[in-house]
Amino acid sequence: MFIKSEDSIGEHNFPSVSQENSVIDSRATSSMVAAKMSMEDSKERSIVKGKDSDKEKDHLRRLEKGLHLLKNAWPSDLEHPLYDVNLAIILCEMNTFKEGLLSLYEKMKLYKEVIACYMQAHDHEGLISCCKKLGDSSKGGDLLKYFGELGKDCSKEVKEVLTYIERDDILPPIVVLQTLSRNPCLTLSVVKDYIARKLEEESKLIEEDCRSI
């Protein structure tokens, strides 16, 4: 039997205890460095987030102050404001200041621009509320056209608009269907009840006409 001598075993390069400890220390150091870098990165993100939050708060404060100035410098007893209204509109548009624009347009009785402003901001609740406030039933057609071309599911808003289109008999049912058919996200269920009521109404009118003949 062949037995390896101690010399031959010694020829193999087995790592020493000190080398193993060195590898362990190196790995531990790398982990500590990585953990420290991660903590610093997280800290930096928190600082940036805090700065962004402060900027947003400052921006909102300035907008609130601007709206306050616009309203106070145009009291109800004055026909014209104490500032250049055209310049104010331009500044509001440049800064996407919707509340400022709405305030100015309402003061100037430019209701078409008021509605356009709500549409541009996709503020559907404000848009419908504004039309109800104006009490102009003719705006129902404009609203229906807007929602018909929106390309998004706006079933709730359409049903609300249909209630006063039906109430004031603004548009015939065929026009309502043609207008809403342009929006692929709206289903027949949105107008089902409206159409059913209209058909029932038409049937009653036909019956009354037949009796009168």
Nearest residue to 157 via CA among 178, 195, 131: 131
Phi, psi of 200 (to 5 degrees): -65, -40
The distance of Cα 10 from the centroid of its chain, to the nearest Å, equals 75
Q: Which residues contact 197 (CB under 8 A, 6 or more apart)?
A: 166
pLDDT at 72 (0 to 100): 93
> Of 28-32, 66-70, 173-177, where does mean pLDDT reach its minimum?
28-32
pLDDT at 147 (0 to 100): 94
- Where residue 99 falls among pLDDT bands split at 50, 70, 90? very high
Report residue 83 as tokens.
């500032």
Query: Scanning the structure block, which residue is given the tokens 């390069």?
Result: 13
pLDDT at 135 (0 to 100): 72
The distance of Cα 64 from the centroid of its chain, to the nearest Å, equals 20
User: Rounded to the nearest 10 degrees, how much is the dihedral formed by the CA atoms of 9, 12, 17, 22?
Assistant: 180
**pTM for this entry:** 0.64
- Where residue 102 falls among pLDDT bands split at 50, 70, 90? very high
* 75-83: average pLDDT: 89
pLDDT at 179 (0 to 100): 93
Helical spans, DSSP H, in the chain: 6-10, 17-72, 85-94, 98-107, 111-120, 124-134, 139-148, 155-167, 173-180, 189-212
Check: CB of residue 80 under 8 Å from CB of residue 61.
no
- Per-residue pLDDT tens over the stretch 161-203: 998 888 888 889 999 999 999 999 999 899 999 999 988 888 8
Return mean pLDDT, the chain: 81
- Where residue 22 falls among pLDDT bands split at 50, 70, 90? low
What is the residue extent of each domain of the chain?
Answer: 137-206
User: Rounded to the nearest 10 degrees, how much is the dihedral formed by the CA atoms of 164, 169, 172, 176?
Assistant: -10
What is the C-alpha to C-alpha distance for residues 59 and 65, in angstroms, rounded to an integer? 10
Residue 207 pLDDT more than 50? yes
Who wins on pLDDT, 196 or 18?
196
Nearest residue to 98 via CA among 116, 80, 86: 116
Nearest residue to 158 via CA among 114, 201, 193: 193
**Strand ranges (E), 92-155:** none
